[in-house]
Amino acid sequence: MPPPKGYLRARPGQVCRLKRSLYGLKQASRQWNIELTSKLESHGFTRSPHDHYFFTKDCNVLNARATATPFPPGIKFDNSTGALLSSPDRYRRIVGRLLYLGFLRPDISFAVQQLSQFLQHPRVPHWDAAIYLLRYLKGTPNLGLFFPANTSLQLCAYSDSDWASCPDSRRSLTGYCVFLGGALISWKTKKQATVSRSSAEAEYRSMASTVCELLWIRYLLHEFRIPPLLPIPFWCDNKAAIHIAENPVFHERTQASRHRLPFGPRTI
C-alpha cells in the first residue's frame, strides 16, 4: 500500500505503522461494527441480544390499540387546519422511519406520501395521523412482500389517479403497481407535477408514468437475459383515458399532455 498523497518523508525500505483500522484489513468489518453500534446506541437504539445486527427503538406506541386501516376513512389533509406542532422534529423522525419501512410495506405507500408533504410545518392533525399509522403497523406485523414459487415471468401493471386530490394546489395523485409472475416488484404514489383539467387527463398522466416504469423493467429484464412475455397486460379504470391512449387522433382536451404517452399501446 503506497503512502498517502502529501506524505514526502517516506524513504525506500521504510514502512508505515498503522495505529487505526483501515479498509481492506481483515479486522476492518469488526471495527466498523463496533463504531456503528456505538453510534446507534447513542441515538437511543437497543441491540438485540439474539442478533447483534438487529437494532430497535421504542416510539412509545407499543401499548396503543391497533387499527385496521392506515388512515381513518375519508380523512383529508391541508396546510391550515389545526395548530402547529411545537416540536416538529419528532414528527419528521417518525415520517423518516415510515419512508424507510415503505420499501417493504406497499400498503402504507399512500399514507406515507400524504404525511411527507407536511414535514416543513406539521400540524396536530398530521401528528395524529402519523400515530394512527403506527397503530396500524402494530396490528399488521405479518404483512409484507411475498414472492411465490412461480415459473411465469409475465409482467402486468395497474394504474390509477386521484383527480385534484390536493386541496391546496388541486394537483392530482398518481399511483401504480407492477407485478412480475404474481409478485409485486414496483409501486409508487406521487403527486403529479402539473394540474390536470379533467379526470381523464389525470388518469392519462398516471398511465404515462406507469408505461415509463414498465419500459425500464423490460430493459432491465433484457440485461438479465430474461425476455418478458408480450404483450404486457395494463389495467386502468378510466375509459376516456384508455380511448385517448389508443386513438392516434389529436385530442384538444389533452393537448398539454399528449407528448407524455404517444406510444402506450404499441410499446407494451
User: Which stretches does DSSP call E strand in 30-128?
Assistant: 46-47, 55-56
More confident position, 142 or 168: 142
Sign of the dihedral through C-alpha 214, 212, 191, 257:
negative
Q: Which residue has the cell 411465469?
A: 152
pLDDT band (50, 70, 90) for residue 197: confident
For the record, the C-alpha cell of 253 comes out as: 382536451
Q: Does residue 151 surpass a pLDDT of 80?
A: no
Identify any residues that bridge with 230 across adjacent strands, giving them in sequence order: none
- pLDDT score for 111: 93
Residue 99 pLDDT level (bands cut at 50, 70, 90): very high
Average pLDDT, the chain: 84
Give, in order, the Cα–Cα distances in Å from 16 to each of 4, 24, 28, 267: 10, 16, 18, 60
241, 200 Cβ separation under 8 angstroms = yes
Omega before residue 231 within 30° of 0, cis = yes
Question: Above 60 in pLDDT, residue 165?
Answer: yes
For the stretch 222-250, pLDDT in tens is: 998 888 888 899 999 888 888 887 776 65
Q: Average pLDDT for residues 27-34, to the nearest whole number?
A: 89
Residue 267: which pLDDT band, with cuts at 50, 70 and 90?
A: low
**Residue pair 3/10 in contact by the 8 Å Cβ criterion:** yes
Interval 103-133: pLDDT, tens: 999 999 999 999 999 999 999 999 999 999 9
- Residues 63-75: tens digit of each pLDDT: 778 899 999 988 8
Assign residue 93 a region (left: φ > 0; alpha: ψ between -120 and 50; beta: otherwise): alpha
Q: Is the pLDDT of residue 158 over 70?
A: yes
Tens digits of per-residue pLDDT, 204-227?
Answer: 899 989 999 999 999 999 998 888
Where are the domain boundaries for CATH 3.30.420.10 in the chain?
Answer: 155-267
Nearest to 194 by CA among 208, 215, 214: 208
Contact status, residue 62 vs residue 138, Cβ threshold 8 Å: yes
In single-letter form, the type of residue at position 57 comes to K
Banded pLDDT at 166 (limits 50, 70, 90): confident
Band (pLDDT 50/70/90 cuts) for residue 47 is confident
**% the chain with pLDDT above 70:** 89
Could you tell me the fold of the domain covering 155-267?
Answer: Nucleotidyltransferase; domain 5 (3.30.420)
Q: Is the pLDDT of residue 157 over 90?
A: yes
Q: How far apart are CA 265 and CA 246, in angstroms?
A: 6
CB 115 within 8 A of CB 133: yes
d(CA 113, CA 108): 8
How far apart CA 267 and CA 247 sit, in angstroms, is: 14
